[in-house]
Homo-oligomer: A and B are copies of this chain.
């Protein structure tokens, strides 16, 4: 069950006026929601700095169809005891290129290390890793 607490916050009027304008423009329903998002975002960033923190991540790889070393690396990954692959999606971008999106859970440090090693595989042209703190978002 979701427990909500009501707190009082003192904010400078000028700052508040600017903030209200911006959240309206972005489409937030109210201040509580926007401030909740700022807090959550901030906590998640702090947490992900710790390599031992649990994270959900997406690894994006754009690579050449003919890349042979990648499948082997991806297979090894399945046997990494610190990482758990949840899903992966393979997309045909154009005649030359594929996009692989791998969604996984594990320690943020381990995930970054894996992403680094995938980025080095010959034929991988572009790689990104996207970390989200899992625990923080465990309850709203």
Chain A contacts to B: CB under 8 angstroms: 2-16, 18-19, 22-23, 26-29, 31-44, 46, 56, 58, 60, 62, 64, 86-87, 89, 91, 93-94, 96-97, 99, 101, 103, 116-117, 119-120, 122-123, 125-126, 128, 130, 132-134, 136-140
Do B7 and A11 touch (CB < 8 A)?
Answer: yes
Docked Cα-Cα span, A9 to B89, in Å, equals 34
Do A13 and B9 touch (CB < 8 A)?
Answer: no
Sampled A-B contacts (11; CB under 8 Å): A3-B13, A5-B16, A9-B32, A15-B36, A19-B42, A33-B120, A56-B93, A58-B60, A58-B128, A97-B138, A130-B130
CB-based nearest B residue for A139: B14
Docked Cα-Cα span, A8 to B87, in Å, equals 41
Given contacts A11-B5, A43-B15, A62-B137, contact A35 B35 (CB under 8 A): yes
Docked Cα-Cα span, A94 to B139, in Å, equals 10
Docked Cα-Cα span, A39 to B10, in Å, equals 12
